[in-house]
Structure 1
Amino acid sequence: MNSLGFDKAPSATRVVVAMSGGVDSSVVAAMLAEQGYDVIGVTLQLYDQGEVAARKGACCAGQDIYDARTVADKVGIPHYVLDYESKFRDAVVEEFADSYARGETPIPCVMCNKTVKFRDLLATARELGADCLATGHYVQRAMGTEGAELLRGRDPGRDQSYFLFSTTRDQLDYLRFPLGHLDKAATRREAERLGLIVKDKPDSQDICFVPDGDYARIVTKLRPDTAQAGEIVDIDGTVLGRHDGIIHYTVGQRRGLGIAAAEPLYVVRLEPNRRRVVVGPKSALGRDLVHLREVNWLTDLKAGDSRRVSVKLRSAQMPTPATVIAGVDGAAVVQLDTPQPGIAPGQAGVFYDGDRLLGGGWIARTELQPELAA
């Protein structure tokens, strides 16, 4: 077996590497080329080239395409740039705006992995006759009793498994993650050893198409209704103030409410149909039932089955003990051992057994069981 798990020589193994122009994917391409694999670099153009000059901190922009091509030339591999601007806009940017319009807090990185990268680019890799698609994600892939498994990255500070919960079993069979056993410092040392120009390049922003952080500007341009003014009310419906659009709020938010109160207030929920922001004390944030939609399983769990897991409800949150119950039509319910604050619809509930990712889904709504609410 070679280092990618194929029973043939590296030179007989074709690998498409998704090259974003950053240090991680550049190191993947260079490492695999050094090991003798038949490597093809592919970079996705996600923005109009006339608009990317000022997008500092974005990925898949003009400078990134140049950097990816420069790395490919240095390590001696072919490099292609694919125009995915329309695919990215339809699958990621438009959905991002729709999610905010529904009063959710979306995760566009997950949608990009689910659609543009692991659906469209993966299909292109197959068309190119590749044995696998390799990326610079900090996750690990291993073979287990149920086939290929997705594991957390070895470095907890860099682990990106939360953002890959929608990866299907068929996709996981085809994907490879050569950096999963490294931390970022080790990756940069590899970039320096390999003489790559990106060795000191900063990481891109989380939301690549909002490099200035002003996501409200993009959403209101696409969905003007999200900028309509409305009321800020307490949990009993008493009007406490006004807001300039629900786009500016998310569940669990404390700062920026513009309300004077005897105790700190937090956003408890958003009611987009009524253009209302509901606020309350921190004690009103706790929820212990989380309803999920579009759940993707990387383990064998049928409708009605339950399993003890640890679950992450935000990317930066530590996992918390819970029981997940599989439903029908992609639904599931997570019963948390202890109520958690600030669980936002539009984020993801991702299940783990130790380091193994079992699956996950989008948070549709939350509840607090009556006996705990009393």
Structure 2
Amino acid sequence: MKILVGMSGGIDSSVAAWLLKQQGYEVIGATMSIWKEGTPYNGPAGNSCYQPETQEELAEIQEICRKIGIPHVVVDCQDMYEDIVLKNFRAEYLAGRTPNPCVWCNSKIKFGALIDFARKSGIEFDKFATGHYARVDFDKKTGRYRLRRAVDLHKDQTYFLHRLTQEQLSSVIFPLGDMLKKDVRKIDEEQGFHAVGQEESQDFYCGDYTDLLGVVPGKGNIIDRQGTVMGTHTGVWNYTIGQRKGLGIASDRPLYVVELRPGSNEVVVGHEEDTLHTRVVIEDLSWSAVAALDTPRECVARIRSASNPQMAMVSPGEDNTLVISFTGAVKAATPGQSLVVYDGDTVLCGGIISSAR
């Protein structure tokens, strides 16, 4: 069997490729090229997914592939990344929402365009693999593939993968899904792929997000929930729901961003209790282990990648939405972010948060 492995040059994808090679598969390493020349960048080098690509970094990936004993190819995904991920990123921020570009990149680019472009370029393979921490199996009772949380829950990445379709799940392999990160790092060090203590990419983009928005600062008011002007700002896109730092407002109690109003260019602030929500509505649904939910169902849900799943009742809403009623309050459910619904360790569905109260 031939397996194409998405390789970023990091520890996880390197070990994933090595493991598959050790298991006797014919492995090909593939790296996405997503950076367009001329895009401004002010962040540190080597610490984010989206940053200028250098010949040195490409040479490092090629050297890892040489050590593993596999060929390596570069797949140009620059235009698709611009059209899908960055345009969504800009549109959401300017609409006062906080997007998650990694979710869209995985579903549309890494597990979409990369595979399509590789095949169109003449590369033949049967399965696609990455170094993500997740598991996939097939449920004979439902006839659907299931995306399941990784054994290492601290590294679990199903939140970022929840929009993968049944077709995508049917042809994907996650070699690290049953492993602990410490064991993956040990293999990496033993094979000499990276220096001991190698850092990993931490964010989508380490520069100033306004680099990617192409906007001119515009002065607006920071107001409280009663409409009293508390201060000023230079653009709602500089803020996100739940933000406390960087407001520049003196107050007896800590203030948090509780609402963004791009139409009037206003940032609304309140106290911590104003950031708590028990009812969240999601739209732009993506179904995984189930094709739909016709009746209310008790599940667990995550409102961000770093949060623990919380008990909730998930019910069908109007206009193809789902209403998630949490048993206890969750903090700062943010429009534009993804909410993922689980049954135990299995992803049922997910969607984009449209409102919360």
- Give the TM-score normalised by the residue count of structure 1: 0.87
Contact in 2 for aligned 1:229/1:245 (Cα 8 Å): yes
Using a 3 Å threshold, how does the CA distance of structure 1 residues 303 and 180 change in structure 2: closer, same or farther? closer
Using a 3 Å threshold, how does the CA distance of structure 1 residues 258 and 54 change in structure 2: closer, same or farther? closer
Deviates more, 1:58-67 or 1:34-43: 58-67
1:44 alignment partner AA:
M
Contact in 2 for aligned 1:295/1:360 (Cα 8 Å): yes
Report the equivalent of 2:107.
114
Offset from partner CA, 1:75-128 (integer Å, 9 cap, x none): 221211011112112211221111110111111111110111111123245553
| 2:92 aligned with 1:94 | no
| 2:166 aligned with 1:169 | yes
Using a 3 Å threshold, how does the CA distance of structure 1 residues 329 and 136 change in structure 2: closer, same or farther? farther
Q: What are the equivalent positions in structure 2 for 1:76-155 lying under 5 Å apart?
A: 76-124=69-117, 128-144=123-139, 145-146=141-142, 147-155=144-152
Structure 1 stretches (4+) deviating beyond 6 angstroms?
49-54
Instruction: Give SS of 1:66's match.
Output: helix
2:45 alignment partner AA:
R
How many angstroms does 1:54 deviate by? Answer: 6.4
| 2:171 aligned with 1:181 | no
Instruction: Give SS of 1:143's match.
Output: strand
Using a 3 Å threshold, how does the CA distance of structure 1 residues 140 and 300 change in structure 2: closer, same or farther? closer
Match of 2:272 among 258, 266, 282: 282
Report the equivalent of 2:11.
23
Aligned CA-pair RMSD: 2.1
Match of 1:37 among 25, 46, 50: 25
Tell me the distance in 1 between the aligned counterparts of 2:292 and 2:306: 29
Offset from partner CA, 1:172-231 (integer Å, 9 cap, x none): 111110001112211111123333246643111311xx223x213332xx233xx31101
Offset from partner CA, 1:243-273 (integer Å, 9 cap, x none): 1111221111111111122222111110011
| 2:255 aligned with 1:265 | yes
Contact in 2 for aligned 1:22/1:198 (Cα 8 Å): no
Instruction: Give SS of 1:196's match.
Output: coil
Tell me the distance in 2 between the aligned counterparts of 1:173 and 1:56: 32
Tell me the distance in 2 between the aligned counterparts of 1:261 and 1:78: 60
Match of 1:309 among 289, 299, 312: 299
Using a 3 Å threshold, how does the CA distance of structure 1 residues 79 and 255 change in structure 2: closer, same or farther? same
Deviates more, 1:61-70 or 1:74-83: 61-70
Deviates more, 1:191-200 or 1:247-256: 191-200
Contact in 2 for aligned 1:67/1:198 (Cα 8 Å): no
Report the equivalent of 2:342.
352
Contact in 2 for aligned 1:30/1:194 (Cα 8 Å): no
How many angstroms does 1:322 deviate by? Answer: 0.5
Tell me the distance in 2 between the aligned counterparts of 1:185 and 1:36: 24
Deviates more, 1:62-71 or 1:325-334: 325-334
Report the equivalent of 1:291.
281
Instruction: Give SS of 1:335's match.
Output: strand
How many angstroms does 1:49 deviate by? Answer: 6.5
| 2:210 aligned with 1:216 | yes
Deviates more, 1:194-203 or 1:251-260: 194-203
Identity %: 37
| 2:226 aligned with 1:236 | yes
Tell me the distance in 2 between the aligned counterparts of 1:123 and 1:204: 25
Contact in 1 for aligned 2:221/2:229 (Cα 8 Å): yes
Using a 3 Å threshold, how does the CA distance of structure 1 residues 153 and 345 change in structure 2: closer, same or farther? same
Q: What are the equivalent positions in structure 2 for 1:182-201 lying under 5 Å apart?
A: 182-197=179-194, 200-201=197-198
How many angstroms does 1:330 deviate by? Answer: 4.3
Tell me the distance in 1 between the aligned counterparts of 2:262 and 2:271: 21
- Give the TM-score normalised by the residue count of structure 2: 0.91
Using a 3 Å threshold, how does the CA distance of structure 1 residues 302 and 34 change in structure 2: closer, same or farther? closer
How many angstroms does 1:30 deviate by? Answer: 1.5
Offset from partner CA, 1:316-344 (integer Å, 9 cap, x none): 11111101123466421111112222111
Contact in 1 for aligned 2:75/2:117 (Cα 8 Å): no
5+ residue gaps, structure 2, are none
Instruction: Give SS of 1:263's match.
Output: coil
Instruction: Give SS of 2:355's match.
Output: strand
Tell me the distance in 1 between the aligned counterparts of 2:241 and 2:44: 31
Instruction: Give SS of 1:300's match.
Output: coil
Contact in 2 for aligned 1:107/1:347 (Cα 8 Å): yes
Aligned length: 348
Report the equivalent of 1:338.
328
